């Protein structure tokens, strides 16, 4: 075999022909960094300058070849010369990457491996540092192939795959018994090699392992919340939440379940497009919410089903039959979204797989008497097959004929009732999408929805009458049951003897309850009617534009309806005198309060304020408290633009990107986003991030002090002294003179500019619309995300002190940094 070593591969494709030992780029979904703009040396890197290369001798080891490289380490195949002669794998931290956190993770991985002694886990052999000071450790060199590749290449049967999987479960259980959670179980980290006794599986790469109790090393750097570690395709929902303090062994059970699913069905348990999104929120949402179908169903949803079956030495129909039943139940129990519904331990999982192989009942399936009887028959089929066939044949003939007759009779009587149940479910499903659908069709679609809902509620009386008949029958049957019961036993919850009758009764109860609730003052019909009132029809949009745009277009031709058809002239703000517009693509027209101001609501479209152009002093005066050297004052001119009244919220993000961040509980909280994510959102909507000059001009709103509006920070923004260390819903403080909210504290807000320390080089000449275009910005508007640069953030974080919230204060962070307090508010640039 030419397969090598024990490092993860560079890509996680389903059917690879060769093994690549470069660490998997999907092992962390996004390079998530926490930057402290006030501490340039926070990374704490040690400047190691001598990189290890093939041919070097490190202690008793001579480096032979490179097996793989990651962001922080390189793995070499090495020859050990003494005291034993053998090949080993050596992992070395790259020069220049020995930060305190990297070294801590490196040492934690070594300690994790050292704690374990199991034939299914790669062993650590030695550790030390190179002459240049680079930490390394030597481990057992495993010649093997990723488990899915191996099984497909050697066409292992389902039974043989399950035997191999049991070995993997035992290895992970050993790690758990030592208090270690792997957190990155996937085929690339399970290598299989051929030995004299057959295939042997070895688990590798404990680089993101977590100790359940005490840290693996003293002063271990704790994983930061909101830092995603692992491989998304095999990651449990709770691990995707990025709260590392809430991970237990059942997270590994989930990952093992995904591997098992792939071994059985040849595909992951997610829809084909679940991981095609660039947005990490969309991927995390797929992990948490995507419907998982049983392996037997997933098999038939792919065109390569015949090839998958052939790799398991069978045909499609036979494979589906094997998967349907116990194996479906076992796999589905592993990948339950709620961890309480999964196997408690990997031992329990392995035991259930063993039960299946032994034709014994599996715990994942609550099958009852007949299920156990069938298992008994499979174990002792010679003794019971004849009797079983006779009994089953007689029973089936009698029961099926009576059942079919009764079903046909009842279905003929209940067509209308069942169609109303279906219509109710359809209306509920459609309702959620109404506010965010195409604004050109929104009003008409809402009108049709209301017509169907009103027609349905007119039949409520008919369904109530039918339900009363069921209730009367139920009371009569309960009385009979009490009269015939003996021994004074506690009465059980009543159910109709016929399952279909019970199903119809329960659904009829649900239908009547929901139709009643549909008509209530705060029910769905009232809600959709409110949405409809806040959704202008195409005729109303034209009338509104004609009535309100004449003076605006005369002053600003670039705001004509032809240039911005999705902008609806909302109102001229009674306080600021500035025009405000709603982007109808993003939601509904806001309601007005008693003072003529927009009411904040999660279903509102993005509200933009038309900012007039002007010239101002950018930066801060020398005597401003908290001033920093990078705030040199200089004169800047900006032309008019539209800027969002509030920071982009979770709800507004979800309406456009069709996903929500993990753990999101309030649609009115500002979204947390990287620079790249913010630009992706803007590009989809034909927005832009504001330039640094535009942002400060909008924040100052004609003022010259540290804070706009009232000039009192407690009244203008959320910061360290009043935020309770958390983000707040938008619009909770007072607006500035332009009617913009939260400019002085809540989220930091991304600006388009690359951070430049000395941002004024105009030599006394006023700059017009200055902007520092990031070096990795391409001509087509995209970015080279492999080379992130530092970009500007403005606005003041909810965790920041007062000086950080000034109009002139400047933050900066890497474009790929995902920090809870980083958000954005877009602009629409006008052509002047």
Q: Which residues form the catalytic set?
A: 184
Return the half-sphere exposure (C-beta side, CA atoms, 13 A cut-off) of residue 201.
26
Could you give the CA distance from residue 556 to residue 549 in angstroms, rounded to a whole number?
10
Place of tokens 């277009």: 553
Asked whether the beta carbons of 194 and 201 are under 8 A apart, the reply is no
Asked whether the beta carbons of 152 and 267 are under 8 A apart, the reply is no
SS3 per-residue string spanning 107-136? HHHHHHHHHCCCCCECCEEEEEECCCCCEE
SS3 67: strand
- The DSSP code sequence of 242-300 is T-GGG--HHHHHHHHHHHHHHHHHSS-SS-TTTT--S-HHHHHHHHHHPPPPPHHHHHH
What token pair was written down for 314?
């069978």
Other Cβ atoms less than 10 A from the Cβ of 778: the count is 9
Could you give the CA distance from residue 599 to residue 488 in angstroms, rounded to a whole number?
61
Could you give the CA distance from residue 692 to residue 429 in angstroms, rounded to a whole number?
43
What token pair was written down for 83?
């005291």
Could you give the CA distance from residue 503 to residue 20 in angstroms, rounded to a whole number?
54
Q: Which of 50, 26, 49, 105 is nearest to 72 (CA)?
A: 105
Could you give the CA distance from residue 13 to residue 193 in angstroms, rounded to a whole number?
20
With a CB cutoff of 8 Å and minimum separation 6, the contacts of 34 are: 224, 227, 817, 819
What token pair was written down for 421?
């149940």
Burial class (CB in 10 A: 0-12, 13-18, 19+), 272: exposed
Parallel/antiparallel/unpaired status of strands 567-572 and 210-211: unpaired
What token pair was written down for 183?
């957190």
Place of tokens 């926490």: 34
Q: Which residues pair with 135 in a beta bridge?
A: 129
Burial class (CB in 10 A: 0-12, 13-18, 19+), 273: exposed
Burial class (CB in 10 A: 0-12, 13-18, 19+), 392: exposed
What token pair was written down for 372?
């156990």
Asked whether the beta carbons of 802 and 672 are under 8 A apart, the reply is no
What token pair was written down for 284?
């995390």
Residue environment code for 691-701, b if the CB has 16+ CB neighbours within 10 A, otherwise e: bbbbbbbbbbb
What token pair was written down for 117?
């002694």
Q: Which residues pair with 57 in a beta bridge?
A: 62
Residues counted in the chain: 832
Residue environment code for 245-269, b if the CB has 16+ CB neighbours within 10 A, otherwise e: eebebbbbbbbbbbbbbbbbbbbbb
What token pair was written down for 331?
């796999």
Could you give the CA distance from residue 803 to residue 796 in angstroms, rounded to a whole number?
9
Could you give the CA distance from residue 256 to residue 335 in angstroms, rounded to a whole number?
9
What token pair was written down for 549?
């745009």
Asked whether the beta carbons of 471 and 479 are under 8 A apart, the reply is no
22 DSSP assignment = S
766 DSSP assignment = P
């Amino acid at each position: 075999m030419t397969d090598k070593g024990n490092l993860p591969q560079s890509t996680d494709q389903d059917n690879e022909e060769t093994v690549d030992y470069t660490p998997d780029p999907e092992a962390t979904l996004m390079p998530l960094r926490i930057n402290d703009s006030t501490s340039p040396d926070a990374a704490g890197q040690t400047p190691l300058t001598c990189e290890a290369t093939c041919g070097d001798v490190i202690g008793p080891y001579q480096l032979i070849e490179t097996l793989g490289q990651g962001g922080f380490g390189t793995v070499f195949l090495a020859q050990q010369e003494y005291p034993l002669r053998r090949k080993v794998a050596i992992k070395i931290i790259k020069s220049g990457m020995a930060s305190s956190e990297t070294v801590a993770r490196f040492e934690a991985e070594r300690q994790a491996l050292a704690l374990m002694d199991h034939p299914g886990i790669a062993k650590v052999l030695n550790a030390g540092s190179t002459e240049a000071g680079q930490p390394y450790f030597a481990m057992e060199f495993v010649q093997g192939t990723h488990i899915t590749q191996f099984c497909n290449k050697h066409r292992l049967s389902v039974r043989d795959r399950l035997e191999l999987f049991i070995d993997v479960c035992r290895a992970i259980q050993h790690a758990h018994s030592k208090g270690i959670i792997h957190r990155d179980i996937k085929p690339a980290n399970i290598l299989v090699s051929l030995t004299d006794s057959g295939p042997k599986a070895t688990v590798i790469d404990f680089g993101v392992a977590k100790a359940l109790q005490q840290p693996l090393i003293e002063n271990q750097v704790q994983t930061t919340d909101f830092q995603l570690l692992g491989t998304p395709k095999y990651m449990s929902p709770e691990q995707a939440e990025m709260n590392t303090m809430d991970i237990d062994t059942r997270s590994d059970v989930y990952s093992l379940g995904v591997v098992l699913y792939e071994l059985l069905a040849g595909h992951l348990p997610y829809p084909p497009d679940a991981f095609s999104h660039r947005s990490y929120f969309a991927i995390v949402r797929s992990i948490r919410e995507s419907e998982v179908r049983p392996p037997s169903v997933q098999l038939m949803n792919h065109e390569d089903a015949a090839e998958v079956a052939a790799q398991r030495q069978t045909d499609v129909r036979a494979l589906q039959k094997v998967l349907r039943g116990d194996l479906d139940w076992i796999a589905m129990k592993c990948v339950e979204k709620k961890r309480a519904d999964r196997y408690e331990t990997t031992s329990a999982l392995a035991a259930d797989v063993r039960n299946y192989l032994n034709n014994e009942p599996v715990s994942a399936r609550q099958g009852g008497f007949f299920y156990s009887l069938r298992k008994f028959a499979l174990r002792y089929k010679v003794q019971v097959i004849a009797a079983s066939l006779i009994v089953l044949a007689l029973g089936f003939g009698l029961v099926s004929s009576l059942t079919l007759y009764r079903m046909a009779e009842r279905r003929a009587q209940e067509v209308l009732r069942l169609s109303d149940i279906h219509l109710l479910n359809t209306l509920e499903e459609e309702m959620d999408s109404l506010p965010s659908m195409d604004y050109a069709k929104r009003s008409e679609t809402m009108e049709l929805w209301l017509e169907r809902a009103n027609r349905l509620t007119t039949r409520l009386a008919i369904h109530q009458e039918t339900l009363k008949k069921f209730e009367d029958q139920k009371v009569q049957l309960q009385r009979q049951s009490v009269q015939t019961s003996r021994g004074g036993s506690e009465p059980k919850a009543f159910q109709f003897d016929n399952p279909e009758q019970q199903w119809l009764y329960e659904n009829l109860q649900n239908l009547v309850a929901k139709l009643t609730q549909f008509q209530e003052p705060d029910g769905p019909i009232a809600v959709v009617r409110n949405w409809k009132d806040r959704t202008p029809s195409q005729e109303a949009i034209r009338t509104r534009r004609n009535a309100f745009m004449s003076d605006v277009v005369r002053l600003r031709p670039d705001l004509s309806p032809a240039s911005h058809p999705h902008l609806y002239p909302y109102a001229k703000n009674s306080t600021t005198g500035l025009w405000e517009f709603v982007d109808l693509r993003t939601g509904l027209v806001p309601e007005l309060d008693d003072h003529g101001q927009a009411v904040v609501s999660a279903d509102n479209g993005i509200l933009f304020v038309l900012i007039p152009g002007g010239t101002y002093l950018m930066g801060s005066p020398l005597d401003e408290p908290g001033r920093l050297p990078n705030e040199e004052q200089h004169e800047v001119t900006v032309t008019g633009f539209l800027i969002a009244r509030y920071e982009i919220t979770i709800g507004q993000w979800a309406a456009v990107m069709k996903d929500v961040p993990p753990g999101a509980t309030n649609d009115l909280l500002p979204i947390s986003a990287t620079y790249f994510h913010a630009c992706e959102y803007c590009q989809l909507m034909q927005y832009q991030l504001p330039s640094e000059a535009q942002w400060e001009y909008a924040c100052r709103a004609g003022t010259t002090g540290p804070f706009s509006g009232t000039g009192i920070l407690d009244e203008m923004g959320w910061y360290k002294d009043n935020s309770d260390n958390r983000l707040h819903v938008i619009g909770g403080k007072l607006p500035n003179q332009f009617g913009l909210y939260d400019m002085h504290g809540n989220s930091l807000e991304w600006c388009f500019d690359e951070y430049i320390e000395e941002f004024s080089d105009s030599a006394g000449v006023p700059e017009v619309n200055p902007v520092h275009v990031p070096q990795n910005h391409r001509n087509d508007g995209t970015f080279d995300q492999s080379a992130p640069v530092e970009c500007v953030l403005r606005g003041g974080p909810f965790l920041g002190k007062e000086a950080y919230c000034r109009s002139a204060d400047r933050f900066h962070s890497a474009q790929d940094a995902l920090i809870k307090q980083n958000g954005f508010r877009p602009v629409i640039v006008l052509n002047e």
